[in-house]
Amino acid sequence: MVLVLGCRETFMPPVSGDPNSILVVDGFLNAGNDSTMITLNHTRSLSDTVTTYPETGARVEVLSESGQTLSLQEITKGRYINPSLGLNSSEKYQLQILTANGKKYLSDFVFVVITPPIDSVFWRQDTTSASNKIGVTAYLTSHDPSNNTRYYMWRYRETWEYHAAYESFFLLSADRTQVIPRTPDQFTYRCYRDFNSTDLKLASTETLKEDIVFEYPLVFIPQGDEKLTVRYRILATQFGITKEAYDYWQVVKKNTELTGTIFAPLPSQAAGNFHCMTNPDETVLGFLSAGTVQNQFIYINNTQLEHWGFFSHGDCPLVEGCFCNPAFRARGYVPVYEDNGLYASSFPHCVDCTSEGGSTKKPSFW
């Protein structure tokens, strides 16, 4: 044991140059009617407390082989948008970035890939899984009858409704001595949350006779998760991509999601299709793709599930008391409802769903 423990040394991965100097380009040229957003950031060191280094004040343009120039506008730091590029599927396009400090970056020219529609998005609940993955899985099935797509990438957006432990009909005055009825805009029982996917979802049908993706697992929701306590929606977005894009994102996926064990693949450099024209030796991270996108969504209601069993409100006692009593007020209770002149009360987090990060504003599509 002494010999083994003596061989353990702290490892600090070597990083060449300034870790904040590498430009990272993230985006997809949408050939449909939806907007295109390109995000420009810089890498950061492992010990850095700053979460992002956006590239601001840049000129970002889409160039076509025929000489057309389409500009994107910066709406927030490092985020550049065009509401509708209107790309021609018979042309190739590249992205040009001119930074405020005079650097020029170009992507390779890329084809516009026509993405086939999603056949279906559906879900299945597993209550007896031998792999301990008990819960709900959302799946996607798609195909291209022309057998031309072969490489796919997906993103998804989750939205769900959840409730506080109790619905409070009252508020307290600033000095906590008077109970005031809530107005409709002050209710905090029903909330909504959103989540955009961060994991990479990829598939290839290159080795298959037919271009079919069957029951691809998009997301797994474990038994009892808050997302399915009331109502849940998942919006799947499908991208048809090139083989080069697929190979790039596969390397990124291995580096970010599949490392950490002795059997995991070794990290490797993801060769993107962006280049620094003012300094050819400078590394640029990112891969530009262009094409149409396809969307499909489904809703799942808690009433459709079998014994979901959500119990995460924590300590939420319901106690009766009078706020005229200083000792009762000092406990930090919030009134829930009145009962014979006394108020059944609980802790603030038990009556305020926004304490868990959600919003009481109902989404327009709900």
Mean pLDDT of 39-45: 91
CA distance linking residue 173 with residue 209, whole number of Å? 70
Whether 252 is in a domain gets the answer: yes
The pLDDT of residue 315 is 83
Measured between alpha carbons, how far is 248 from 327 in angstroms, rounded to an integer? 63
- How far is the C-alpha of 212 from the C-alpha of 206, rounded, in Å? 10
Q: Are strands 135-143 and 118-126 parallel, antiparallel or unpaired?
A: antiparallel
The DSSP-derived string for 118-137 is EEEEEEEEESS-TTS--EEE
Q: Is residue 284 part of a domain?
A: yes
Question: What span, in angstroms and rounded, lies between the C-alpha atoms of 146 and 150?
Answer: 10
| Domain membership flag for residue 308 | no
pLDDT of 168 above 60 = yes
Which tokens is 277 given?
Answer: 């024209």
Across the chain, mean pLDDT equals: 91
* Length of the chain measured in residues: 366
In the block, residue with structure tokens 């059944």: 344
CATH (domain of 247)? 2.60.40
CA separation for the pair 155, 296 (Å, rounded):
11
What is the model's pLDDT at position 310?
73
pTM: 0.87
Residue corresponding to tokens 């909504």: 192
Q: Is residue 261 part of a domain?
A: yes
Per DSSP, the three-state class of 143 is strand
> Pairing mode, if any, of strands 289-291 and 190-196?
unpaired
Instruction: Give the per-residue pLDDT at 271.
Output: 76
Residue 70 above 60 pLDDT? yes
The pLDDT of residue 255 is 85
- Which residues face 97 on adjacent strands? 60, 105
Q: What is the mean pLDDT of residues 36-46?
A: 91
CA distance 206 to 211: 8
* Residues of the chain above pLDDT 90, percent: 77
Q: How far is it, in rounded angstroms, from Cα 52 to Cα 147? A: 40
Please check whether residue 295 is in contact with residue 238, taking contact to mean a CB–CB distance below 8 angstroms: yes
Count structural domains, the chain: 1
Residue with tokens 């060191």: 45
pLDDT category, 17, cuts 50, 70, 90?
A: low
Q: Give yes or no for a contact between 31 and 291, defined as CB atoms under 8 angstroms apart.
A: yes
Residue 22 lies in a domain: yes
**Range of the structural domain that residue 22 is part of:** 18-113+243-292
Query: Is the predicted pLDDT of residue 194 greater than 70, yes or no?
Result: yes
Tokens of 111: 């084809």
What single DSSP character describes residue 108?
A: P
286 in the Ramachandran plot: left (φ > 0), alpha (ψ -120 to 50) or beta?
Answer: left
Q: Is the torsion defined by CA of 349, 49, 267, 284 positive or negative?
A: positive
The pLDDT score that the predictor gives to residue 128 is: 86
Q: Is residue 63 assigned to a domain?
A: yes
Longest dimension (CA), the chain: 79
34: closest CA among 195, 245, 238, 288?
238
- Between CA 170 and CA 338 the distance in angstroms is 9
Render pLDDT for 228-282 as a digit per residue (tens, 0 to 9): 999 999 999 999 999 999 999 999 999 888 665 555 555 666 779 999 999 999 9
